[in-house]
Amino acid sequence: MGCVHGKCCTRYPSSSDGDSGRRREKRPYKCKHILTQRSLELVPVPSHNFTLQFSVLTQHGYYPDTVERENQDSFCIKTQLQGNPDIHFFGVFDGHGQYGAECSNFVKDRLVERLANDTTLLDDPLKAYNSAFLATNSELHDSEIDDTMSGTTAITVLVVGDTLYVANVGDSRAVIAVKDGDRILAEDLSEDQTPFRKDEYERVKLCGARVLSVDQVEGLKDPNIQNWGDEYSQGGDPPRLWVPDGMYPGTAFTRSVGDSTAEKIGVIAVPEISVVRLTRNHLFFVVASDGVFEFLSSRTVVNMGTLHSLYLSHLSIFLTNL
């Protein structure tokens, strides 16, 4: 994976409007992403005179026993939200459960639609984001999709001029590459919402959740030990959420959209939102599901993007689901 730039991507074709004598709005120029051989698209942010370049890769993960397993993830890219050339939306939605694909597709459509129709979006992006997530969650509950044991996580980035609003629900992640002298650093734009986090662990416990790994639930390990190390050392058997008197739902995240059963033990659709003002030192950001970050650290992902960059003059985005 990576963000790859080339000189062919720095130019925009233009055309004249014969009736008015003014130039039409510039349209994204497309070329191939060198690594994925998929389209690399460009969209300008005229208020701050920079260009967003983005590419997407989505595929199901490798499961030796179920090689034809359905890819339940989806993504959403909506440029010029509300007809404004300075507002752009990017999101990755990681579905899970029997109807995970239906949930992720429902949420990726309805969430951005909610944002697009919110007249307060520019005045109060944080409030608009919160409202959009909660309303979408309610709509999913009321839809024909059975979300009792299915749902989706969501990691989304709203670009408003030179500011990023990053809203996260679940254990997907956004990370940005930042130039610091001769170094390029990886800075997380979101924090995974799992029982590994002390604050999230305590919140769901107060809601009645049992927090145990699968080995603990099955009696192979002591259930009284409520310390699971970190997600990188214990990723194979992470702590999960269970109802007090049953062996379900077993979610390894503490926030999601849908999952009406898990909602009763503290799994919520309230996003955590971070705000970043872009500078010349911000090179690119990656939005991806836990299918990437379960196996690769943020540092590794940024290193891969940096190694495959030809030059870094425009902010780039690379969205991926695995």
Count of CB atoms situated within 10 Å of the CB of 147: 28
Our measurement of the distance from residue 152's CA atom to the centroid of its chain's CA atoms, rounded to an integer in Å, reads 11
- Least confident piece of the model among 14-28, 146-160, 236-250: 14-28
| N residues, the chain | 322
Percent of the chain, pLDDT > 70? Answer: 79
| Average pLDDT for 170-185 | 94
Angle (deg, nearest 10), helices 100-116 and 125-142: 140
SS3 of 160-171: the string is: ECCEEEEEEECC
pLDDT for position 303: 86
List domains and CATH numbers for the chain: 41-60+70-193+256-261+268-320 (3.60.40.10), 194-252 (no CATH)
- Least confident piece of the model among 59-68, 126-135, 151-160, 283-292: 59-68
pLDDT for position 18: 40
pLDDT for position 321: 56
pLDDT for position 310: 40
pLDDT in tens, 101-147: 999 999 999 999 999 999 999 999 999 999 999 999 999 999 999 99
CA distance 91 to 76: 5
| Average pLDDT for 286-309 | 82
Burial grade of 306 (CB within 10 A; 0-12, 13-18, 19 or more): middle
- Least confident piece of the model among 26-35, 121-130, 195-204: 26-35
Whole-prediction pTM? 0.86
pLDDT for position 236: 78
More reliable by pLDDT, 24 or 320: 320
Residues with Cβ within 8 Å of residue 32, at least 6 apart in sequence: 38, 39, 40
CA distance 165 to 158: 5
More reliable by pLDDT, 26 or 139: 139
